[in-house]
Every structure is written in C-alpha cells, then in structure tokens.
Amino acid sequence: MPELPEVETVVAGLRREAVGRRVVDVEILLDAHFLPSAAELADGLRGRRLTTARRWGKIWFVDTDDEQTLVGHLRMTGQLRVQPADEPRLPHTHLVATLDDGRELRWRDVRRFGWMHLLPSAEVAGLPELARLGPDALAIDEAAFVAAVRASGRGLKALLLGQEIVAGLGNIYVDEALHRARLHPTLTAGRLSRERARRLHGVMREVLSAAVAAHGSSIDGQYVAVDGELGSYQHAHRVYGRAGQPCLACGTPIVRIVAAGRGTHYCPSCQRRR
C-alpha cells in the first residue's frame, strides 16, 4: 500500500497540478532515501521544468526539461502533495520543492520506506528497482498473462504479489481480484485452465480500473491524493479487511490466513482450493 490505483491517482494529480511548472527552489528538511544524494537531487531539480508524469506498476516518474527523470516509490506511507506555501507542513515532510506559481510540491513519508532518485532519463531503464518488473497490470494483454500464469509453479497470491509476471498489484487488489475470479489464494497458478486464467486477467483489470475511478483505497489515512483527498474504493472491498464478516456473494464468513507472508482474505465457499 499504495498500489497501482493509488499511484495512478497520484500521477494524475501531478499531471494536473505540477507538470508544466518550474521548480524554483528545493529544501531538504529530513534526509531520506534520496539518490544520488539529497543535496545533488535538490541541485538537479532547481530551475528545471517538470514536463511529464507517468507510472509503471507502483513506481512513478516525473521527467524534466533537461532530460532527467525523478523516479520514486511511495512504499507504505509515502505521500506527494501539492499545497499552498502557507499551509503548515506536516511532521515527516522530507522534501519541499517550490513551484513557479508559489505552491509547494512536498514529499512526506512517516515510516521512511519510500525512495526517490534523480538520474538522466536515458539511464532509468537500468535501475535495479525496475529490472525485475513485469508488464504493467493495466497494460499486459490476455495472451501474455495467461501464458505466464499457467507456466508458474507458485501459489496465485505469491505470484501476483511478486511483480515479475505483472506489476502493480499488492495485498488489497490481489485479494479482491482472486475473490471475484473465485480462485483460492494458495492455488498453484500452473493448475489454472486457460478459461480460469483468462477470467483472472479480466477480473484483475476490472478491479484495478474501478479502483482507479474511485481514486484508490484509503484505509489508514496514510494514502492521500496530491490534493489531499482520500480514495473511496475501500467501501467496495468484498474481502480485504473483512475477516469474520459475511461474503457479499454467498454469506459465508470471510477468513483471514497468511499466504506468501501476507495477511490474506478470502471466502472459503466461493474460493475453494481446487
């Protein structure tokens, strides 16, 4: 958390609020995971215009007019906000970039797991953090997805969380997609028929698209959009975070187990291990 829908919401906000603006100053309030270093990142951004914002899986990119790219990952608690300069800065704000309209682009990360790199755009593809990523979950075509899933000997939850086959899914949306596809989270992926693998592909895209339309899921208040607004897809969750509550499809209580090292929610009636 945040996952693909939350990062897509943040990137859309950056396109709307920050792209086209020039960075007139950068202030480092707390050194975090900035590369090549906090000082070099700040110096590299000053005076540059932000030209595009995009995403691959859970990783976001902002390009500048001197062919550099700011690359980052929100991880658990990272936030990118565009705020008026006179709005109080919250604790755990690490970086403030003043834009040419007087507003500030702020990076905040309570748990400090997130990271941000500034490097030449031509070198982005060589980042180790990108090397293992599969196609984006909203871009992968059905044939490639089906072939990759059916060739794997891993459990479905582990496979979809791994990012190598498809990038962007995390704990929330894997649970939600598997429930809608009526697939048990520990079922071996290679056991899926082509029909069930195709259904999983379609359901995955439907869940992610609906979550993007709802601006993501805001569960603990840590994830917010660039304008500070919360997402609303948490109200549409069918299994995630609903242990003990009735399945919305059949009424059976939702069960929580640990799968692939993560808390996992599923319906034992709708998602039989077969």
- Does residue 262 carry a catalytic annotation? yes
- Does residue 157 carry a catalytic annotation? no
Match 């003043």 to its residue by tokens.
98
How far is it, in rounded angstroms, from Cα 241 to Cα 187? 21
- Does residue 15 carry a catalytic annotation? no
- Does residue 128 carry a catalytic annotation? no
- H-type helices in the chain, by residue range? 4-17, 38-45, 128-131, 142-150, 156-161, 171-181, 194-213
3-state helix, strand, coil in the chain (%, to 5): 30, 25, 45
CA 81 to chain centre: 16
Q: Is 21 helix (H, G, I), strand (E, B) or coil?
A: coil
Write down the catalytic residue from 21, 55, 58, 242.
Answer: 58
How far is it, in rounded angstroms, from Cα 240 to Cα 76? 17
Write down the catalytic residue from 22, 46, 49, 262.
Answer: 262
**Would you name the residues annotated as active-site residues?**
2-3, 58, 262
